[in-house]
Homo-oligomer: A and B are copies of this chain.
Amino acid sequence: MKLWTGRLSGEIDHWATQLNNSLWMDQRMAKEDVIGSMAWAKAIFNVGLITKIEFEQIISGLEQINSLFETDTFVFEPSDEDIHTAVERKLTELIGDTAGKLHTGRSRNDQVATDFRLWVKTAIQLLIQWIEDLQHTIIQRAVTDIETIIPGYTHLQQAQPILLSHWWMSHFWSLQRDKTRFLNLLTEVSSMPLGSAALAGTGFPINRHQLAEDLGFSSPAPNSLDSVSDRDFAVEFLFATSLLATHLSRMAEMMILFCTQEFNLITLSDHFSTGSSIMPQKKNPDPLELIRGKSGVLLGKLCGLMTTLKGLPSAYDKDLQEDKQPVFESFDTLEILLKVMNGLLSSLSVNTKRGLELIHPAMMATDLADELVQLGVPFRQAHHAVAGVVKTAELLQLPLDQLPLSEWQKVNPLFEAWVFRILDPGQSIHRHQAWGGTAPKAVQEQIRHARKFLAS
């Protein structure tokens, strides 16, 4: 069944039908389509376009259809070109001609935009939940690993010692920004298109504020033209998912390094590793690599839809049919990525001693400079003095903690025996107590602060 036969003659071309049909994709919004139609039935009943009896027939028919979807027993016909057509066709089979009254005063343009927003609202709520689940796991790890010291890196070069907990927590905050982004989007998505009809607004005196309330939207969209062709929420969803995936990718990239033989800071559980078809000794961090790989794909979906939107005039065009597939697929991918990252974090083991093994005394160079500063040396000169000592040690092929004090003093006489105390990584960690720093006290404070951002 097509909703628009009547004027055009002849069959649609086979390949054009392939191109045009969206049922395979939009049937995912079956529930939303039924809910939207129920609310619309009430709205047109309220202005007398259908009788009480007709209203009840329609609602009852839609409820039956809903059950069919819920029990996965709805049978689509080859002629159903989209979900709206399928629902109306079935409704006609169930309640007869009255079904033909349901589409009064609305268009598929406002209908699909409404269904899609309802779907996205639910999707956002689920994503927020899964993000929080991962944040909980991160906090758990941070609590567990509070005594593990590892090298902190910049430019992937060893920089200063940090707590592994501090590293875990750094990912809490990028996820927190993602959550905020999704919450902001929830507000944007809460503007209701229904009642905009094809473009000019519905031709009947529908109370759209009431309708919005019935459907759980915060308000009806204020301009019918804009509202049928606005897909900002879809690209914003793709941006938010793509950035979330980028955060997971950056985390995964570092963990892939952490589980190389060379770094060897963590070991993944066998439940999150795979082997090789040719090299019997291999244990590969495939899930982390796929998290990294998928995040590129998700960025592509954002670019794709943005490019499509950018190529349009300001009105409803059929190109907008391309909006749903990237959104659905990004959502599905992220469900997997978030759950895999969660399970993988919970189950990995930390090689607690390896961090200290990796730390070279030179990583305390900043602390040495800071100590000179405490003695009154301007930082710039202190930095220079310590750099000189590092260079000397390198020339003599000695680690800093084996460089005789006399060599230190050649560079700057202010160096005294205290330098060897400063070379202790634990001591270094404790110096960084300001808000947001890596000292145990500061990290514990950070964890307390973080917990406030979790709903449960």
Q: Is the CB of B280 within 8 A of A300?
A: no
Partner-binding segment picked from A27-35, A60-68, A117-125, A151-159: A151-159
Copy number in the complex reads: 4
Partner-binding segment picked from A335-343, A401-409, A413-421: A335-343
| Bitwise interface map of A from 77 to 112 toward B, beta carbon under 8 Å scored 1, else 0 | 000000010001000000001111111111111000
Contacts of A222 in B (CB 8 A): 173, 435-436, 446, 449-450
- Chain B: minimal CB distance from A405 (Å): 18
**Contact pick for A379, options B101, B109, B180, B367, CB 8 Å:** B101
Contacts of A318 in B (CB 8 A): 155, 284, 286, 289-290, 293
Contacts of A274 in B (CB 8 A): 2, 4, 8, 12, 20
Q: Is the CB of A304 within 8 A of B298?
A: yes
- Chain B: minimal CB distance from A264 (Å): 8
Instruction: Tell me the A246-303 residues at the B interface (CB within 8 Å).
Output: 246, 249-251, 253-254, 256-257, 259-263, 269-287, 289-303
**Contact pick for A16, options B200, B344, B383, B387, CB 8 Å:** B344
Is A199 positioned at the interface, with any CB of B under 8 Å from its CB?
A: yes
Q: Is the CB of B277 within 8 A of A195?
A: no
- Chain B: minimal CB distance from A329 (Å): 10
Q: Which of A155, A314, A442 has the most chain B CB atoms inside 10 A of its CB? A: A155
Contacts of A289 in B (CB 8 A): 155, 317-319
Q: Is the CB of A378 within 8 A of B100?
A: yes
Is A360 positioned at the interface, with any CB of B under 8 Å from its CB?
A: yes
Complex-state Cα separation, A198 to B343, whole angstroms: 29
| Bitwise interface map of A from 1 to 20 toward B, beta carbon under 8 Å scored 1, else 0 | 01111111111110110111
**Contact pick for A278, options B103, B299, B360, B439, CB 8 Å:** B103
**Contact pick for A253, options B88, B314, B321, B336, CB 8 Å:** B314
- Chain B: minimal CB distance from A13 (Å): 4
Number of interface residues of A (CB under 8 A): 202
Q: Is the CB of B315 within 8 A of A254?
A: yes
Is A363 positioned at the interface, with any CB of B under 8 Å from its CB?
A: yes
Q: Is the CB of B340 within 8 A of A15?
A: yes
Is A307 positioned at the interface, with any CB of B under 8 Å from its CB?
A: yes
**Contact pick for A157, options B9, B284, B383, CB 8 Å:** B284
A108 to B, closest residue via Cβ: B277
A96 to B, closest residue via Cβ: B378
Q: Is the CB of B436 within 8 A of A315?
A: no
Q: A156-B260, A226-B173, A286-B318 are in contact. Are A297 and B278 (CB under 8 A)?
A: no
Q: Is the CB of A275 within 8 A of B314?
A: no
Q: Is the CB of B436 within 8 A of A279?
A: no
**Contact pick for A199, options B97, B152, B256, B387, CB 8 Å:** B152
Complex-state Cα separation, A379 to B339, whole angstroms: 36
Contacts of A232 in B (CB 8 A): 174, 177, 243
Complex-state Cα separation, A391 to B379, whole angstroms: 53
Is A214 positioned at the interface, with any CB of B under 8 Å from its CB?
A: no
Complex-state Cα separation, A294 to B204, whole angstroms: 35
- Chain B: minimal CB distance from A249 (Å): 5
Contacts of A100 in B (CB 8 A): 378-381
Q: Is the CB of B322 within 8 A of A201?
A: no
Contacts beyond the supplied A13-B343, A262-B358, A280-B368: 10 A-B pairs with Cβ under 8 Å: A15-B340, A84-B277, A104-B379, A152-B315, A201-B438, A208-B434, A225-B438, A254-B313, A275-B387, A296-B304
Q: What are 17 A-B contacts defined by CB distance under 8 Å?
A: A3-B277, A100-B378, A103-B278, A157-B285, A159-B199, A159-B282, A200-B437, A200-B438, A254-B315, A257-B257, A257-B313, A275-B387, A280-B384, A292-B317, A295-B307, A297-B325, A300-B304
10 nearest A-B residue pairs (beta carbon): A300-B304, A201-B437, A4-B275, A6-B387, A293-B319, A296-B308, A100-B380, A100-B378, A289-B318, A280-B387
